Amino acid sequence: MYTDKTLVCKDCGQEFVFSAGEQEFYAERGFENEPQRCKACRAARKGASRPERVMYDAVCSECGAECKVPFQPSGDRPIYCSDCFAARRG
């Protein structure tokens, strides 16, 4: 029913394949337009819209290891490294 199509990315100008499986997926979801960007340009565009996550240095309250956390430690609550956090969760 669907056949692979070669399209040209509107950002980088490279050709990319819009596969039969992707076309079927688009049809199932009700998308009417074909993609205009290759996968690399779509991923770059998607990643550019998110601000880069700031990581803060901390010391694990359980094992004393240095770790990084995605929030500013305030000192009033314990901080756990990923291993200790996973162990506490079960």
16 in the same domain as 40: yes
- Residue-wise pLDDT tens digits, 20-61: 999 999 999 999 999 999 999 999 888 777 778 899 999 999
pLDDT of residue 52: 80
The domain of 76 spans 56-89
Q: How many domains does the chain have?
A: 2
Cα–Cα distance measured from residue 68 to residue 7, given in angstroms and rounded to the nearest whole number: 43
35 in the same domain as 13: yes
40 in the same domain as 21: yes
Query: What global pTM score does this model have?
Result: 0.54
pLDDT of residue 53: 85
68 in the same domain as 38: no
Rg over CA atoms, the chain: 22
